[in-house]
Structure 1
Amino acid sequence: MAPPIDPKTIPAIDPKVPPELPTPEPESPVRSRKPYRFSTLCATVENPDQKDQYGSSSVPIYQSATFKGVGNAYDYSRSGNPTRSHLEHHIAKISSATHALTVSSGMAALDIILRILKPGDEVIAGDDLYGGTNRLLTYIKSHGGVVVHHVDTTTPASVLPFIHPTKTAMVLLESPTNPLLKIVDIAAISKDVKERAPDAIVVVDNTMMSPYLQRPLEHGADIVYDSATKYLSGHHDLMAGVITCNRDDLKQQMAFTINSVGNALAPNDCFLLLRGTKTLALRLDRQQATSQLVATYLHGLGFTTHYPGLPNHPGREIHERIASGNGAVLSFETGDKEMSERIVGAARLWGISVSFGCVNSLISMPCVMSHASIDPATRAARGLPEDLIRLCVGIEDPADLIDDLEQALIDAGAIAFNVQQNKYIRVLPSTNEELNRAVQKLGLGEPDDQEWFVSAPGKVILFGEHAVVHGVTALAASVDLRCYGLATPRNDGKISVHFADIDNFYREWDINTLPWDAVTPIAVGQEHPDVLDQVLIDTIVAGPLQGFDEIPKAKTAALAFLYMYLLLNHSKRPSFNFSARGTLPVGAGLGSSASFSTCAATALLLVSRAISLPPPPQPTTTDPAATVPHVHVSHGGRRFIPPTVAERVNKWAFISEKVLHGNPSGIDNSVAVFGGALAYARAGFGFGGKAGMHPVQGFKSLRFLLTNSKVPRDTKKLVAGVGALKASEPELVDGILKAIQSISEEARRALADPELSREQLLCALSALIRENHEHLVTLGVSHPSLETIRATTAAAPYGLSTKLTGAGGGGCAVTLVPDDFQTEALDKLIAELVQESFVPYLTSVGGSGLGILSPYTPPNLVQQSHAVVAPGQVTPPETPGLAPHPGAGDPLLRLAFEKQSMSDLAQWADGLGRWLYV
């Protein structure tokens, strides 16, 4: 074996001013040019000894297995290929190397290197290595007669006892290590090895750093290899490995093996890798900057965070000496493996993957992914935490990455908002229940003491009733008649519900007697499947809800609540009461069930801590008296509830709707959550043939009179009737459906048209309402009561446009009320409708969606009509003089909530404090 090259003879290069490696010659003979800097070297792929005959700016792909002629430079692509030669020259140039070899993967590169060993040789390797490296070392130890010593290489002195003058053949290092980011003094260990075992080869896996940030050949290493799948390529669109060295003998030995086994990199992959290296410096500059922000954020929350850029990182001084950057991989510990799993599963922007080095950010748990091949006992012996999370930072916007990570930490229960400190703090996992409860109190209150008050609007179908079943677009909008839900803690091991509007239903159950054995828990990071768990539903009906067949609506509502409670709380099982009331008429076609489902789902998700709220906006003044609560203004108020929270609520509200109705469209719960107006079409119709809901941009809140006919409806019968009419008279019905589609499209255009004046918009909508209703009458879904309401509102002196909504056949009629309609005339119309035994409601359409009473109270005392809210108190204290349901715990808001009259409920709820809306 040839003597090693003295590292001192190799010119060191600064990342900003690299050595004078082969670069394009200057065109001017007058003056010489300075050596190119690293990023320029990356972007400049030129080989003076291998010019393209056509002067192509990009190296061509020589997609040829063979080459003609005898004795030429290339004959067979396994042995050599022009594209690969360009790549290898380029890699050597940016790696401070004389030679470079490229193979099919990073592990293939290590395999080629390890073939230098022979039976009886000894290898010294680190104890915090990539799992694949550990696996291959174990293989050669078992099958190749090679002795492997795993040593803590972060301390050079630890290596010394294992160095043997003749037996030690190789020392295998990583720095920083993967995944604990341990720092290894490559220069010191290389010096020690050369002094004690001159024939030993020092090999460094440089994948974590890449040649941009670290060039181990400059610090005494003999061979360096990278998984070029990572940073050198940067896009995870190929697999490749590169090997660099300065010794001719090692290069010849490894090149012989590559040619023999045939794992050299294919021409097309060479082309892709060449392209990727051009942006290496650019990508890593962005990735490192973001990594520093993420590491600082996690460190600031109190997590044990591993990243060389942090001031307290062990070995940081060594790293700064041998590297020119901190890289884009970091890891942190949560102290709880299950919590880590929840965090990884809750991330959305961070993709779950075993790899790193991509432009896309990735998240993983090494012990169950990349390092799973190392047995648990060995992982424990090497200090690899089972709860460790590895983050591989990409080039996305740093704010988006941190926001997504923060939301994952919140959803997993790893952090909670501290009202006193006005920031998120870490929730420490602990077997000490007293400590854990004390920490949780620093957030939004103990789970057992937190009361949540929520609300959701109803909906009206403005255009497209019935026709939507057959593919026509429907327009639905929120109506500011709302359902309210209140979750009040109990401390007696029971769960209870009170549905005042549905048979005044009250029922409580011992939590431990619920059918937990029938629950199939939803995996971390997964949502509810598309199909309901029918076994669980049947078990609930046969168990907790047995004997309630005479009150089917209350039974079904309780079924939806218990179904969600069991799935969301399989491991938590909180004890609380859920009360629901509404200003919406039940069964009138105004989406009362969807509004209830949204309230129930939101309350359950909040109590279960499956969702949480962001901190409140900071006041713009320090004057407490100037603190202004959130104002509920249609489309004008701040949208405080984040979209991610709203989307999760909507998914569970849809699950509740499935329990209640079997096969809902999803539009009712979407309107209840998101508010405003939505256009909806089934699959195969509208929106280019795709099913879905789309917000009606620019929707302007409108004033409507909703009149409940008090006539019950049979929705299934009405829908079936339209279907039968279509089957018997297809031309008639198809013509009606096309006309309604035209009305829906025209209404969407009018609502979104900024050039239409308010008067013009109301005039257009009024005409479309009348036209739409006439078509629905032809379909046979009106009712004498609806026609009476329509005639009353259209008669002089009113002249208003009215149509049925929902399924028709009873239920509600909607009447558009112009802005300039006189109050006296409106009062007279309402009186006439009441005299005819109808129930009118004057309301707005198109307002806010889901609302949550803010848990963040102003710093000053706020005097309410029913209570005084003290600083830091979540809800007003108990209203005196009222008694709770037997055993219902210690209510705060609940008694006052259930006492309010229907006419006062909305005003009372609005006066409790700041409401947060989607």
Structure 2
Amino acid sequence: MVRLKRETIVAQIGNKKCEKTGAVNMPIYLSTAYRHEDIGRSTGFDYTRTGNPTRDALQEALAVLEDGYQAFATSSGMSAIQLVFEKFQTGDHIISIQDIYGGSFRLFQQMEAKYQIAFSYWDGNVIDDLTELIRPESKALFIETPSNPLMRELNLAELAQFAKEHRLLFIVDNTFYTPVFQRPLAQGADIVIHSATKYLGGHNDVLAGAVIVKDPSLAAFYEETLNAIGCVLAPFDCWLLIRGLKTLYLRMKQHQENAQAVAAFLEGHPLVQQVLYPGKGGMISFYIQDERLVSPLLRTLKLFTFAESLGGVESLITYPATQTHADIPKKVRDSYGLTNQLVRLSVGIEAKQDLINDLSQGFSKVEAEVGIG
């Protein structure tokens, strides 16, 4: 049989899963318990934490999209990261890129304090510098690419080779690019993580996470662990995520088209010092000329909503210093470029000229109000 394109796979998630009714839309199985006909005779479903038909349909699709062996849908992006790090124990050492989501940094700090799992941070510039961070107890390399919020794009194949040479699990947070633009497992990663709340869901209406692995032994470990700790995604949220995934390819195309246009506008604006955009996806960061301009800009924008999420159809503007990365000490943030002048945009699927006009009028009002030009 000819392998289906991913655009087809996402549009068809859940179809033909209910033979009895022929439902085209994946049913939501809310039942927490499942009847057994006799001892040792099960339908394959026993208790919803262990297995649920709606969640199974979602996980099957996630595994295919990311070229994985098995996927796990979790209750949030952070619970996905927590699940992955259940693999490690006291005394282990993890190398992480410095420029990561503030919630990840916060969790890593807690792991260091509570469980004595050590973390070292790499600036993301020169791969050879990673060698200096390796210890006998090093177990994994964790990255986001593009990084958050400095939008640094990393070479997955080179990092995968480094991880293999040093017997490290290679873990990649693929939230920003999604499998539409990047499939880390195909380039050598061992584990992919998503905050599925973001682009995979796509509508700012579901809290979810995903873990996808390519090795059967890792899959067995995480299947057992997820059942034990129980941070599974609820059936209705699985259904919302399925619904979002059906339009993933359409949405990402528009996100990217809009972001490219917005980035080009920002590049030419005198109040913008530098634009950080890797050329793909819908996320843009930029340094504004003076941090005194940030608050007035946030107040004057009409279409960009000041909020700290990303990946929805609506455009959002985020101030990492006080929102997504507030838990990272200012001295640390400043050391790698996450300064108080940095602003992050999640460019939605609205008409791109409307978004550009909104930013233009916002900059004009700010310049008049603050008097900085």
TM-score grouping bracket, smaller chain normalisation = over 0.9
**1:415, CA displacement in angstroms?**
11
**What residue in structure 1 maps to residue 164 of structure 2?**
194
Distance 1:95 1:414, change over 3 A: farther
Whole-Å Cα distance in 2 between the matches of residues 38 and 286 of structure 1? 17
**What residue in structure 2 maps to residue 180 of structure 1?**
150
Equivalences, count: 367
Task: Confirm or deny: 8 A CA contact 2:15 2:25 kept in the other structure.
Answer: no
Answering whether residue 25 of structure 2 is matched by residue 58 of structure 1, we say yes
Answering whether residue 111 of structure 2 is matched by residue 143 of structure 1, we say no
Whole-Å Cα distance in 2 between the matches of residues 338 and 108 of structure 1? 36
Task: Confirm or deny: 8 A CA contact 1:154 1:185 kept in the other structure.
Answer: no
**What residue in structure 1 maps to residue 49 of structure 2?**
78
Distance 1:259 1:414, change over 3 A: farther
**1:600-611 to 2 correspondence within 5 Å?**
none
**1:414, CA displacement in angstroms?**
7.8
Amino acid at match of 1:64: S
Answering whether residue 7 of structure 2 is matched by residue 36 of structure 1, we say no
**What residue in structure 2 maps to residue 169 of structure 1?**
139
**What residue in structure 2 maps to residue 297 of structure 1?**
265
Whole-Å Cα distance in 2 between the matches of residues 118 and 47 of structure 1? 41
Task: Confirm or deny: 8 A CA contact 2:29 2:235 kept in the other structure.
Answer: yes
**What residue in structure 2 maps to residue 213 of structure 1?**
181
**1:807-826 to 2 correspondence within 5 Å?**
none
Q: Secondary structure at the match of 1:180?
A: coil
Q: Secondary structure at the match of 1:221?
A: coil
Amino acid at match of 2:352: P
Structure 1 vs Structure 2: percent identity of aligned residues?
35
Amino acid at match of 1:227: S
Whole-Å Cα distance in 2 between the matches of residues 344 and 250 of structure 1? 44
**What residue in structure 2 maps to residue 387 of structure 1?**
341
Task: Confirm or deny: 8 A CA contact 2:15 2:23 kept in the other structure.
Answer: no
Whole-Å Cα distance in 2 between the matches of residues 383 and 389 of structure 1? 12
Note the alpha carbon deviations across 1:762-801, whole angstroms, 9 max, x for none: xxxxxxxxxxxxxxxxxxxxxxxxxxxxxxxxxxxxxxxx
**What residue in structure 2 maps to residue 577 of structure 1?**
none
Q: Where has structure 1 moved over 6 Å in runs of 4 or more? A: none
**1:404-443 to 2 correspondence within 5 Å?**
404-413=358-367
**What residue in structure 2 maps to residue 432 of structure 1?**
none
Whole-Å Cα distance in 1 between the matches of residues 118 and 76 of structure 2? 25
Whole-Å Cα distance in 2 between the matches of residues 282 and 52 of structure 1? 29
Whole-Å Cα distance in 2 between the matches of residues 140 and 236 of structure 1? 29
Whole-Å Cα distance in 1 between the matches of residues 72 and 198 of structure 2? 16
Distance 1:204 1:414, change over 3 A: farther
Q: Secondary structure at the match of 1:368?
A: coil
Answering whether residue 250 of structure 2 is matched by residue 282 of structure 1, we say yes
**1:196-595 to 2 correspondence within 5 Å?**
197-198=166-167, 200-302=168-270, 303=272, 304-309=274-279, 326-413=280-367
Task: Confirm or deny: 8 A CA contact 2:198 2:204 kept in the other structure.
Answer: yes
Whole-Å Cα distance in 1 between the matches of residues 208 and 328 of structure 2? 24
Q: Secondary structure at the match of 2:358?
A: helix
Out of 126, 130, 142, which is 1:159 matched to?
A: 130
**What residue in structure 1 maps to residue 74 of structure 2?**
103
Q: Secondary structure at the match of 1:366?
A: coil
Task: Confirm or deny: 8 A CA contact 2:33 2:47 kept in the other structure.
Answer: yes
Q: Secondary structure at the match of 1:231?
A: coil
Task: Confirm or deny: 8 A CA contact 1:100 1:244 kept in the other structure.
Answer: yes
Q: Secondary structure at the match of 2:268?
A: helix
Q: Secondary structure at the match of 1:171?
A: strand
TM-score, length basis structure 2: 0.95
**1:53, CA displacement in angstroms?**
2.1
Note the alpha carbon deviations across 1:376-411, whole angstroms, 9 max, x for none: 111112221211111101111111111111111111
Amino acid at match of 1:170: A
Task: Confirm or deny: 8 A CA contact 2:140 2:163 kept in the other structure.
Answer: no
Whole-Å Cα distance in 2 between the matches of residues 340 and 158 of structure 1? 35
Structure 1 spans left out of the alignment, 5+ residues: 1-31, 310-325, 417-426, 430-439, 441-918
Greater RCO structure (CA 8 Å; 6+ sep): 2
Amino acid at match of 1:216: P
**What residue in structure 1 maps to residue 90 of structure 2?**
119
Note the alpha carbon deviations across 1:186-235, whole angstroms, 9 max, x for none: 2101101211x22x211000000111111100111100010000011100
Whole-Å Cα distance in 2 between the matches of residues 269 and 329 of structure 1? 25
Q: Secondary structure at the match of 2:321?
A: helix
Distance 1:256 1:294, change over 3 A: same
Task: Confirm or deny: 8 A CA contact 1:339 1:414 kept in the other structure.
Answer: no
Q: Secondary structure at the match of 1:285?
A: helix
Note the alpha carbon deviations across 1:153-212, whole angstroms, 9 max, x for none: 232122121123x411111011000111011112101101211x22x2110000001111
Whole-Å Cα distance in 2 between the matches of residues 250 and 112 of structure 1? 12
TM-score, length basis structure 1: 0.39
Task: Confirm or deny: 8 A CA contact 2:18 2:26 kept in the other structure.
Answer: no
Note the alpha carbon deviations across 1:694-736, whole angstroms, 9 max, x for none: xxxxxxxxxxxxxxxxxxxxxxxxxxxxxxxxxxxxxxxxxxx
Whole-Å Cα distance in 2 between the matches of residues 291 and 284 of structure 1? 10
Amino acid at match of 1:339: L
Note the alpha carbon deviations across 1:100-125, whole angstroms, 9 max, x for none: 00000000000001111111111000
Task: Confirm or deny: 8 A CA contact 1:155 1:184 kept in the other structure.
Answer: no
Q: CA RMSD in A?
A: 1.7
Task: Confirm or deny: 8 A CA contact 2:14 2:25 kept in the other structure.
Answer: no
Whole-Å Cα distance in 2 between the matches of residues 133 and 212 of structure 1? 23
**1:620-631 to 2 correspondence within 5 Å?**
none
**1:342, CA displacement in angstroms?**
1.3
Note the alpha carbon deviations across 1:859-879, whole angstroms, 9 max, x for none: xxxxxxxxxxxxxxxxxxxxx
Q: Secondary structure at the match of 1:332?
A: strand
Whole-Å Cα distance in 2 between the matches of residues 154 and 237 of structure 1? 36
Whole-Å Cα distance in 1 between the matches of residues 114 and 283 of structure 2? 33
Amino acid at match of 1:182: R
Amino acid at match of 2:54: T
Note the alpha carbon deviations across 1:423-473, whole angstroms, 9 max, x for none: xxxx8x5xxxxxxxxxx5xxxxxxxxxxxxxxxxxxxxxxxxxxxxxxxxx
Amino acid at match of 1:351: T
Whole-Å Cα distance in 1 between the matches of residues 142 and 230 of structure 2? 24
Note the alpha carbon deviations across 1:533-566, whole angstroms, 9 max, x for none: xxxxxxxxxxxxxxxxxxxxxxxxxxxxxxxxxx
Task: Confirm or deny: 8 A CA contact 1:173 1:186 kept in the other structure.
Answer: no
Task: Confirm or deny: 8 A CA contact 2:181 2:281 kept in the other structure.
Answer: yes
Whole-Å Cα distance in 2 between the matches of residues 161 and 305 of structure 1? 31
Note the alpha carbon deviations across 1:132-160, whole angstroms, 9 max, x for none: 00000001011111110011123212212
Whole-Å Cα distance in 2 between the matches of residues 414 and 179 of structure 1? 28
**1:38, CA displacement in angstroms?**
2.2
Out of 33, 48, 61, which is 1:90 matched to?
A: 61
Q: Secondary structure at the match of 1:301?
A: coil
Amino acid at match of 2:320: P
Task: Confirm or deny: 8 A CA contact 1:88 1:102 kept in the other structure.
Answer: yes
Q: Secondary structure at the match of 2:140?
A: strand
